[in-house]
Amino acid sequence: MSQTTPRDALVVGGGVAGLTAATFLARADLDTLVVNDGEPIVRRNAHLENVPGFPAGVNSRLFTDLLSEQADRNGAGRLTGRVTDLDVLGDDEDPLFRATVETDDGEETVEVSRVVAASWSDASYLEDTGVDLRAAGSKTYVGVDDLGRTDVPGIYAAGRLTEIYHQAVVAAGDAAETAITLVHDSGTAFYNDWVAPTGYFTDRGREVPPACEEIDADERAHRERESREVMREFFAEPHDEPQRTHPSLVDDELGRLDE
């Protein structure tokens, strides 16, 4: 089955970078699809201790589940499949792309105005697009400017694929910045993605800026209650998926350890 109505944004790769980008894009009301094949590399980590907000660390499989949940709750779509090709259909003023996605059910195409490549460690689908690709040993990195734009208008890249430091929070921050750049480039009205208490802007005679919201005490209480419920549920039991290691060390494509 192929989808032909162009989406606003396609994120290739559902790791730390891709899922973070998707959350920011979807929150800016862009119709966003994440296509992911395989596992985010952070799932091989044995206990994630340097991601902000988890003072005693967090199970890395649980962490990526939380990122997926966040992308879902903010309205991003997710599809399991591998992007194998990207055709450039539009021009610099009006970017349009067609991505070919291999799924378990066959091949799909997705038409989309903008693409975020967050697919460490595969950039092969970008080969015919004109994006600057830099080979370094067995790896290929994507060249971007300071805000995540490649030299092909409409194609962005984020995360380890752009040769930033190999750390989860660096990938997340880089992806957030890239996503906001994409939002600006798309012409979507955007100030900051902020949630403020009632009156923060309006009691100072200002309109609530685009992509910001003011919420009252009832809504704050509702959101806090929901956040606590969700986190309680996620943390209620130890994560049930086995630890991963490098797949070359075990007879399992995901590197699952039999402990």
Residues 6+ apart with CB under 8 A from 3: 108, 109, 110, 111
* In the complex, least distance from residue 135 CB atom to ligand FAD, rounded to whole angstroms: 16
Q: Binder to ligand FAD among 4, 5, 50, 248 (CB under 6 A)? A: 50
If one asks whether residue 115 binds ligand FAD (CB under 6 A), the answer comes out as no
CB-closest chain residue to ligand FAD? 15
Pairing label, strands 97-103, 212-215: unpaired
Q: Binder to ligand FAD among 118, 126, 152, 179 (CB under 6 A)? A: 118
Pairing label, strands 133-136, 32-36: unpaired
If one asks whether residue 256 binds ligand FAD (CB under 6 A), the answer comes out as no
If one asks whether residue 147 binds ligand FAD (CB under 6 A), the answer comes out as no
8 Å CB contact between 150 and 131: yes
Compute the distance between CA of residue 167 and CA of residue 36 in angstroms, rounded to an integer.
20
Q: Give the residue with the Cβ less far from ligand FAD, 164 or 208.
A: 164
If one asks whether residue 99 binds ligand FAD (CB under 6 A), the answer comes out as no
If one asks whether residue 102 binds ligand FAD (CB under 6 A), the answer comes out as no
If one asks whether residue 22 binds ligand FAD (CB under 6 A), the answer comes out as no
Pairing label, strands 133-136, 139-142: antiparallel
Calculate the CA dihedral of residues 159, 164, 169, 172 and round it to 10 degrees.
-30
Q: Give the residue with the Cβ less far from ligand FAD, 50 or 206.
A: 50
Q: What is the x/- site pattern for ligand FAD, positions 59-78, by CB under 6 A?
A: --------------------
If one asks whether residue 44 binds ligand FAD (CB under 6 A), the answer comes out as yes
Helical residues (DSSP H) of the chain, grouped into ranges: 16-27, 60-73, 168-185, 217-235
Compute the distance between CA of residue 142 and CA of residue 150 in angstroms, rounded to an integer.
8
Q: Binder to ligand FAD among 9, 17, 25, 30 (CB under 6 A)? A: 17
If one asks whether residue 142 binds ligand FAD (CB under 6 A), the answer comes out as no
Which residue, 64, 106, 60, is CA-closest to 243? 60
8 Å CB contact between 222 and 201: no
What are the φ and ψ backbone dihedral angles of 241, each rounded to 5 degrees? -95, 140
Q: Give the residue with the Cβ less far from ligand FAD, 35 or 144.
A: 35
* In the complex, least distance from residue 76 CB atom to ligand FAD, rounded to whole angstroms: 15
> How many chain residues are in contact with ligand FAD, going by CB under 6 A?
34
Q: What is the 3-state secondary structure (H, E, C) of 31-64?
A: CEEEEECCCCHHHHCCCECCCCCCCCCECHHHHH
If one asks whether residue 167 binds ligand FAD (CB under 6 A), the answer comes out as yes
Q: Give the residue with the Cβ less far from ligand FAD, 16 or 26.
A: 16
Residues near ligand FAD (CB under 6 A): 12-18, 35-42, 44-45, 48, 50, 82-83, 118-120, 122, 125, 159-161, 166-169, 171
